[in-house]
Amino acid sequence: MATRRSKTRKRASPPSRVRYEGSHPVLSVRVPKELADQLREIRRQSGKTLGDIIREALGAQEPSTKGAYATGYLDSLGKCLDIVEGCRRCYEQVCELIPDDA
């Protein structure tokens, strides 16, 4: 007769899974429904993970709005340069607004 494996026996986790779980602990918190809904909406709108939202809130990650601001600033400078291209003085003044790290 074939022996059956006990259904209550738990399989051993692979070593990589054990290391991952040790370095990435689960945090579980209860929050009011309104806050949970707000967090879900932020995740949906921003496309960020809950971990990214928490890091940003703690100041451990640069807010994504800084990148959007820099992109918008440089885009508008480019449009201004197109507009003032015929005027040498205006063109030079707009060029002074371009950041050094751009």
| Chain segment 18-30, per-residue pLDDT in tens | 999 999 999 899 9
The whole-chain average pLDDT of the chain stands at 86
Q: Which tens digit of pLDDT belongs to each residue from 84-100?
A: 988 889 888 988 888 88
Total tally of structural domains belonging to the chain: 2
Indicate whether 16 belongs to any domain.
no
Instruction: Note if the pTM is more than 0.85.
Output: no
- Domain extent, residue 87, equals 65-95
The per-residue pLDDT for 101 is: 75
| DSSP structure class, residue 49 | -
Q: What is the mean pLDDT of residues 45-67?
A: 81
Indicate whether 21 belongs to any domain.
no
Helix (H, G, I), strand (E, B) or coil at 18: helix
- Distance from chain centroid for Cα 81: 32
The per-residue pLDDT for 3 is: 60
Indicate whether 22 belongs to any domain.
no
Indicate whether 40 belongs to any domain.
yes
From CA 57, how far away is CA 15, in angstroms rounded? 33
